[in-house]
């Protein structure tokens, strides 16, 4: 794998809150179990969004099928967690905030998204230090996505 297709060092992306890794430490991507771990997290996250009445409002912001969102979040998180930058390879720069502008995202939507992700991570029983890192990184990124004052 070439150096340019990975993101294993540096402080992370300040604007997106990616969970950066010091050069000699394993990446969050490695700690979560690589591609299989990312897929398991995204699968559970969107299954919960689809099934749990508590996330009905959040689900309603998405399209009739979650298939595209599932696929894209897997690609995005791979790079964001310090693994292969699959989203960028397929779609170019994520422009994540701009891509979320069509959806009204305020405090409620941010907190619902984080609650759904927390529930998915709870069920996957991640190691506590990885969990702490991801809690902080997701909180920062989700807050940065807000585009409504309420
Ligand atoms: C803060 C609350 C958030 C809400 C309400 C939200 C909602 C959405 C919606 C409605 C879509 C479109 C899905 C579709 O095509 O049906 C989407 C796409 C996406 N979201 Fe979020 N999202 C949030 C936070 C996040 C966070 C924190 C991340 C990453 C850590 C993220 C990553 C993505 C990605 C990668 C896509 C696909 C973008 C593309 O079209 O290429 N989202 N989101």
Q: 3-state secondary structure string, 2-24?
A: CHHHCCCCCCCCCCCCCCCCCCC
Residue 123 DSSP class: H
pLDDT at 17 over 60: yes
Ligand 1 atom closest to residue 112's alpha carbon, by position in its atom list:
2
- Is 8 within 8 Å of 21 (Cβ atoms)? yes
pTM, rounded to two decimals: 0.90
CA of 102 to the centre of ligand 1 (A): 11
Pocket of ligand 1 (CB under 6 A): 58, 61-63, 68-69, 72-73, 76, 91, 96, 99-100, 103, 105, 109-110, 113, 138, 141-142, 145
Six token digits for residue 106 = 């305020």
pLDDT at 148 over 90: yes
CA dihedral 130, 132, 136, 137 (to 10 degrees): 10
> Residue 115 and residue 111: Cα distance in Å, rounded?
6
- Class level of CATH domain 3-144: mainly alpha
Give the distance from CA 69 to its chain's centroid: 11
Residue with the smallest CA separation from ligand 1 atom 41 is 72
Q: What is the pLDDT of residue 3?
A: 39
Over the stretch 58-113, which tens digit does the pLDDT of each residue have? 999 999 999 999 999 999 999 999 999 999 999 999 999 999 999 999 999 999 99
Q: What is the pLDDT of residue 144?
A: 97
Pocket-testing residue among 38, 57, 69, ligand 1, by greatest number of atoms within 8 A of Cβ: 69
Six token digits for residue 135 = 């809690």
Q: What is the pLDDT of residue 14?
A: 47
| Number of neighbouring beta carbons within 10 Å of residue 57 | 11
Over the stretch 19-64, which tens digit does the pLDDT of each residue have? 866 777 899 999 999 999 999 999 999 999 999 999 999 999 999 9
């Amino acid at each position: 794998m070439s150096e340019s297709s990975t993101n294993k060092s540096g402080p992370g992306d300040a604007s997106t809150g990616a969970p950066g890794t010091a050069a000699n430490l394993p990446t969050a991507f490695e700690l979560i179990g690589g591609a299989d771990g990312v897929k398991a997290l995204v699968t559970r996250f969107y299954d919960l969004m689809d099934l749990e009445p508590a996330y009905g409002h959040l689900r309603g912001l998405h399209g009739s099928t979650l298939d595209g969102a599932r696929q894209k979040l897997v690609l995005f998180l791979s790079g964001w967690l310090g693994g292969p930058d699959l989203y960028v390879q397929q779609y170019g720069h994520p422009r994540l905030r701009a891509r979320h502008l069509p959806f009204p995202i305020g405090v409620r939507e941010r907190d619902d998204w984080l609650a759904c992700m927390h529930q998915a991570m709870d069920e996957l029983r991640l190691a506590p230090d990885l969990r702490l890192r991801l809690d902080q990184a997701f909180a920062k990124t989700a807050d940065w996505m807000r585009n409504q004052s309420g």
